[in-house]
Structure 1
Amino acid sequence: MFALRRKSALALAATLLVAATSGLVISAPAAYADSPVTCADTSTQNGAIAGCMVAARAQAWINDGVTYSTGATHDGYRTDCSGYVSWALNLSQPGLVSGDMYEQNGFVDVSQNNLQQGDILTNPAAGAAGHVVLFDHWSDSTHTSYWGFENTGSGNVGYHVIPYPYWSGDGTFYPQHYTNLTAPVAAPAAPSVSVTGPSANALVDGTTTLSASASDSTAGTTLSTQFSVDGQAYGSAQSGTSPSISWDSSALNGTHTVTATTTATNSAGSASTTSAPVTVNVRNNYQVAFNAANTGQLFLYGNGTGAANGGTPVGLAAGTSPAIARLAGGGFEVAFNAAGTGQLYLYGQGPGSVNGGTPVGLAAGTSPAIAALPGGGFQVVFNASGSNHLWRYGVGAGSYTGETPVGVAPGTSPAIAALAGGGYQVAFNAANTDELFLYGNGNGVVNGGTPVGLAAGTSPAIAALPGGGFQVVFNASGSNHLWRYGVGADSYTGETPVGVAPGTSPAIAALAGGGYQVAFNAANTDELFLYGNGNGVVNGGTPVGLAAGTSPAIVALPSGGFQVVFNASGSNHLWRYGVGADSYTGETPVGLAANTSPTAA
């Protein structure tokens, strides 16, 4: 017969008591986490069936509260031990008896250590002496007990810990494998994921696409990728190996970090991996600062989200110009030579900005340069009063404050750029030689003099390149031609055939498309001239004129274009000349102090 028995409730209680007093706490969960609650049953009768489906079917009778009976049926199967196991394995109705589940009817021997979810342990003895249980998973690493499903004459169907192969005194139990039971599904390996767009240090604005590449080596997995901006989930998770989502950055400015977390899932579980972070530069505005006509005070003029417009109460030294940098936190910092004191003054808005005077002085008639640092601070460099040495004044991680031993030509100002590798590079007209001198800190920087000369009284401009190097441009001594001096991929060194107006200096910006654009006051005409290299650049003269002795400023736009601003000839008004989306061309109603130049970021 197929009646069954198992250890009495009293004996089971004693076993659990021994386990408890030995420090082992046995508590049966509603179902094994890998299977009954996560695996949908798609099996057919006497067909292939996964172990998790067997467990799901076995759990169904527990949920239904089925009780043991040799004469009753449930779902078409007898409600005894072998009927329960036959139901779980989706065998023919009303089910086999335990003796028929030993080395016949698709059941074969299996070793103890090769038992898998859905296998059985059967006592094929005849009649009430026989019994069969379903194996789910080992309860300990030594394989001395397991979680199993069974239906017993002492109560309802249940799920609990059973000593291997079964309790002593209940006969001999044999491990058996049902040949229609499919191999266990392997849990997913940790997936691979990387952010593919935007690229590192990309300049973006408005709505841009976040994209990633995701993969997993485990067959049968589904992939879901959640993008995050600055550590906060953005939008809903995206499926597939090339997930993407539109990111609206229009309310942001500054440096932001994008990551992608991919989760690989199958019936055996899930695994997740978070990509390396990608830093992007969001610029939904550009900010101009200049020495205002008539008042000599700092004036701000901008366009886009968060741009500042209007005068300020702080004054600049006559004939000097401010410098501006876009900070990582989204604000900006302006540095200038203060009226009355000749000391470095800082004026900023937004996170990480600083406002107020400093105790360090600039050489008369000179202007500072400033660069934002990745950590949120900034580095200012200038020609120091008294010594004409290069001085540094910094705020935040990676910045420095103090005098250097290298001299800057009187009446000239240094230039600075934060490099892609994390350091910064300074370029200036060297004292006594009027040759280009380089001074820097961090990875990829260069320190020392060069053999190329600058026109007396002029200053260089510098831009960081995406590959980690930099490009310097200047008004060359002797010829007043535009000269380039570069370090690293995509940089150039050599003279160009185009002339720069005497006493003026060029400006340069690295464009979003990878090239760089130079703007300067052209020799003989005092008109704005453009010279560049790479995608999206413009080469040639323009019909708009600069005030004599002044220089333009230029800023790259996320669209790939650029915006030039300058002190216009005739009116001394701020003029804009732009190429590409979000740029502007035309005169503004605001005036600059004579012989000064604007700055833009």
Structure 2
Amino acid sequence: MAANRTARRIPALLLAAVLGAGLTGGIAHADTVTSGFDTSSGTGSIGPSGGPGSGITRDQIIARAQDWVGQGISYSQNQGWQDAATGGPYRTDCSGFVSMAWGLPSSMVTSTLPQVATVTASNISGDTNINPGDALDYTADHVVLFDHWTDSSGDFAYDAEHTEGQPTNQSTDSIYSSTLEGFAISNFEALQYNNLTASIPAPATPSVSVTGPGNGAAVTGSTTLSASASDSTGGAALSTQFSVDGVNVGAAQGGSNPSVGWNPGSVSPGRHTVTATTTASNGSGSAVASSSVSVEVFGRGSAGQTFLDQNGKTLQFQLGSNGNAFQDYQTVPGGSPWSGWGAQSPLPSGVTFTAAPQGLLDVSGKAALYAPASDGNVYENYQTAPGAGPWSGWHALSGLPSGVRFSGAVAGTLDAGGRLALYATGSNGNVYENYQTVPGGAPWSGWHETTGSAGVALAAGPVAFRDVNNKTVLYAVGSNGNVYENYQTVPGGGPWSGWHALTGLPSGVTFTSRIAGGTDANGKTILYVTGSNGNVYENYQTVPGGAPWSGWHVLDALPGGITFGGGPDLFLDAGKKAVLYVRGSDGNVYENYQTVQGGGPWSGWHTVNALPSGVSFTGEVAGTVDAHGHSALYVIGSNGNVYEDYQTVPGGAPWSGWHTVNALPSGITFTAQHS
């Protein structure tokens, strides 16, 4: 209690009359007026100035409530409280508290408060028109005082006396909850005190505009969401909540220039909506406005060996000659120095890895890795904090399906529900799925076959990503050399379409590599695969998110005397143009890119840079766009080390030239794997 206040407790004269039967536990209420503190002799310095029962502003109601909250006045149905700020005495239970806040002449009870108020809603469930200083009254049992909305989604703060021995405090809940203070929320009605006087006008609709990123901007790595907010009424408090595709990013921010950090890697590549929702509030009410822009998240839509972490630093993962997974990462987003190659975590007991780990970010921004091991199972390792260690350590994700072992790289994506979903090819030639049942965590569903047999065995290493409709799509090469498709018919769930050949094969050609796939700047799914003649073939949707497909066709003529080996790597560059990188038969890396967003003509195949002295490349290319918008490529050389080449200008030349990222770990070389 403040030193400059005079306060006193007033004991009950008729304790038994107050308590009654059955009020010894749980949330309590007042159903009996107890003489001795049922009549107030004054309203204190906070007012109302005309004495008990005179006109009062919403600001005064909230200030009076906060006086008791700040002092933590203990609940009791058989005591009263008075002090210099709020006057009194008032009974220190739930209805006495509301009577005090409204500055009433006496301490009313839950059933009599409606006599001095107007019922603005007989059922408050879902009612977003409640204002500060209104009472939420369950006339048979309990009442609380509405304080303010905490966001634009129905969450609010309220002040209350709760139950015997507990202090007055402020709590939060949602207007869409099923209960309030342990009672059905539908039992509560909203009461507006009849003797309100306006101190200030309710806020007008605020102005808000997203100032960063710009509409249509391409983003990757650590990104700041910012807005400009203002209130034309003057004096209102501003609170702005940022969201991406309806999912809140961080906490609401105050002031006229709010901002918050966001990691684009937490969503799939493609178009996304950034929204700033500003609430202007004062003691007389609140008003809400929002502003949105569309941004393009570029980069990789599926799990890969190279991707950006929560902080915008590029991560690399490789398979070492000892069967363990190694990592190297930027210590500064988009630049050097790198950490140096080190074992990612100790190997699980008795196993080695048979393919390089594939990684991506979960819904919380934590990096997660998945790799098949020599026992045929898939192992997991994940960051325990977004953008930082320690890592969980390698552990088997789930038990193996009966009689099945997994081989080849694991495919993965973040589904429409924010859950990691993994796909691996079994020894029986079918593709199996395993997904988180809770976004960002366990338990997992367990491995099960994706629906619909393709009629042929599917090769190891499917590709998985989300299309423009947020449905997970899968593509795999069959044993007959054709490409097969399976897709969700509902975003984030089944049933699946079943495996089916995408389109007919080109004449005289079968497909021999893994597939590179993603979504272009126009929202169309685009696929690339290497044919038995050593050329790269393209197939794309002519309508975003659906058929018909263009059919398989040669992307561009082969460079003179060169054929391509292995699968191409695909991503969108800083200009939202699709770019492809593939290893040629001469051991160099070749590039081909769209000259127009979402379409041709293509640049034609050409080398990125000259080979390093005495080295040729043996693996497939793994590429990404770094935190500064530069395309960056990584590939294993014939000496077993990893080489890097990156753009020095976002989306264009010149390139840095091929160079090693770091020295090899002692006694280790890296094994060529696809990305």
How many Å apart are 1:264 and its aligned residue? 3.8
Q: How does 1:101-140 map to 2 (within 5 A)?
A: none
Q: 1:451 aligns with which of 503, 506, 530?
A: 503
Q: Cα–Cα, structure 1 residues 26 and 460, in superposed 2: closer, same or farther, change >3 Å?
A: farther
How many Å apart are 1:331 and its aligned residue? 2.3
Q: Distance in 1 between matches of 2:630 and 2:457?
A: 34
Matched, 1:586 2:659: yes
What are the superposed Cα offsets for residues 530-564 of structure 1, whole Å, 9 maximum, x if unpaired?
22235699863123558566311112224332221
Aligned partner of 2:149 in structure 1 is none
Aligned partner of 2:555 in structure 1 is 496
Matched, 1:379 2:421: yes
CA-based RMSD of the aligned residues comes to: 5.0
Aligned partner of 1:391 in structure 2 is 432
Aligned partner of 1:271 in structure 2 is 287
What are the superposed Cα offsets for residues 287-330 of structure 1, whole Å, 9 maximum, x if unpaired?
1111113x121111221369975113338868633322222322
Aligned 8 A contact 1:319 1:595 in 2: no
How many Å apart are 1:472 and its aligned residue? 1.9
Aligned partner of 1:299 in structure 2 is 326
SS, match of residue 203 in structure 2: coil
Aligned 8 A contact 1:412 1:458 in 2: no
SS, match of residue 359 in structure 1: coil
Aligned partner of 1:66 in structure 2 is none
Q: Distance in 1 between matches of 2:425 and 2:376?
A: 11
Matched, 1:205 2:221: yes
How many Å apart are 1:480 and its aligned residue? 2.1
Aligned partner of 2:400 in structure 1 is 360
How many Å apart are 1:428 and its aligned residue? 0.9
SS, match of residue 431 in structure 2: strand
Q: Distance in 2 between matches of 1:141 and 1:234?
A: 32
Aligned 8 A contact 1:480 1:501 in 2: yes
Q: Distance in 2 between matches of 1:349 and 1:483?
A: 36
Aligned partner of 1:550 in structure 2 is 619
What are the superposed Cα offsets for residues 181-227 of structure 1, whole Å, 9 maximum, x if unpaired?
xx998633454756464479964435x442347688x8779784535
Q: How does 1:139-218 map to 2 (within 5 A)?
A: 187-191=202-206, 193=208, 195=210, 197-198=212-213, 203-206=219-222, 208-212=223-227
Q: Distance in 2 between matches of 1:566 and 1:262?
A: 47
SS, match of residue 334 in structure 1: strand
Aligned 8 A contact 2:325 2:356 in 1: no
Q: Cα–Cα, structure 1 residues 427 and 220, in superposed 2: closer, same or farther, change >3 Å?
A: same
Aligned 8 A contact 1:520 1:551 in 2: yes
Aligned 8 A contact 1:557 1:563 in 2: yes
Q: Distance in 1 between matches of 2:670 and 2:528?
A: 24
Aligned 8 A contact 1:329 1:350 in 2: no
Aligned partner of 1:415 in structure 2 is 463
Aligned 8 A contact 1:414 1:428 in 2: yes
Matched, 1:343 2:377: yes
Q: Distance in 2 between matches of 1:24 and 1:515?
A: 76
Q: Distance in 2 between matches of 1:573 and 1:466?
A: 34
Q: 2:347 aligns with which of 314, 319, 325?
A: 314
SS, match of residue 620 in structure 2: coil
How many Å apart are 1:502 and its aligned residue? 4.8
Q: How does 1:494-573 map to 2 (within 5 A)?
A: 494-499=553-558, 501-522=563-584, 524-533=585-594, 534=596, 540-545=606-611, 550-568=619-637, 570-573=638-641
SS, match of residue 532 in structure 1: strand
Aligned partner of 2:138 in structure 1 is none
Equivalent AA in structure 1 for residue 664 of structure 2: V
Equivalent AA in structure 2 for residue 205 of structure 1: G
Aligned partner of 2:672 in structure 1 is 596
Q: Distance in 2 between matches of 1:275 and 1:26?
A: 50
Q: Distance in 1 between matches of 2:117 and 2:207?
A: 32
SS, match of residue 413 in structure 2: strand
Aligned 8 A contact 1:204 1:283 in 2: no
Equivalent AA in structure 1 for residue 383 of structure 2: Q
What are the superposed Cα offsets for residues 383-417 of structure 1, whole Å, 9 maximum, x if unpaired?
211x1011112224488631134346565421111
What are the superposed Cα offsets for residues 27-83 of structure 1, whole Å, 9 maximum, x if unpaired?
863354279999xxxxxxxxxxxxxxxxxxxxxxxx9xxxxxxxxxxxxxxxxxxxx
Aligned 8 A contact 1:225 1:260 in 2: no
How many Å apart are 1:423 and its aligned residue? 3.1
Aligned 8 A contact 1:363 1:388 in 2: no
Q: Distance in 2 between matches of 1:283 and 1:424?
A: 26
Aligned partner of 2:474 in structure 1 is 426
Q: Distance in 2 between matches of 1:515 and 1:355?
A: 37
Q: Cα–Cα, structure 1 residues 543 and 259, in superposed 2: closer, same or farther, change >3 Å?
A: closer
Aligned 8 A contact 1:255 1:329 in 2: no
Aligned 8 A contact 1:291 1:322 in 2: yes
How many Å apart are 1:527 and its aligned residue? 1.2
Q: Distance in 1 between matches of 2:379 and 2:118?
A: 69
Aligned partner of 2:487 in structure 1 is 440
Q: Cα–Cα, structure 1 residues 289 and 542, in superposed 2: closer, same or farther, change >3 Å?
A: same
Aligned-pair identity in percent equals: 17
How many Å apart are 1:528 and its aligned residue? 0.9
- Gaps of at least 5 residues in structure 1 are 1-19, 39-62, 64-138, 143-182
Q: Cα–Cα, structure 1 residues 343 and 141, in superposed 2: closer, same or farther, change >3 Å?
A: closer
- Gaps of at least 5 residues in structure 2 are 1-33, 50-55, 63-84, 86-115, 120-197, 298-308, 387-391
How many Å apart are 1:567 and its aligned residue? 1.1
How many Å apart are 1:350 and its aligned residue? 3.1
Aligned 8 A contact 1:456 1:503 in 2: no
How many Å apart are 1:506 and its aligned residue? 0.7
Equivalent AA in structure 2 for residue 300 of structure 1: Q
What are the superposed Cα offsets for residues 493-524 of structure 1, whole Å, 9 maximum, x if unpaired?
543115484540011123454332221112x4
Number of paired residues?
Answer: 428
How many Å apart are 1:475 and its aligned residue? 1.0
Q: Distance in 2 between matches of 1:262 and 1:221?
A: 15
Aligned 8 A contact 1:440 1:446 in 2: yes
Normalised TM-score (structure 1): 0.57
Normalised TM-score (structure 2): 0.51
Aligned 8 A contact 1:336 1:367 in 2: yes
SS, match of residue 394 in structure 1: strand
How many Å apart are 1:586 and its aligned residue? 1.7
SS, match of residue 505 in structure 1: strand
Q: Distance in 1 between matches of 2:497 and 2:573?
A: 23
Equivalent AA in structure 1 for residue 578 of structure 2: Y
How many Å apart are 1:347 and its aligned residue? 2.5
Q: Cα–Cα, structure 1 residues 497 and 272, in superposed 2: closer, same or farther, change >3 Å?
A: closer
Q: Cα–Cα, structure 1 residues 219 and 282, in superposed 2: closer, same or farther, change >3 Å?
A: same
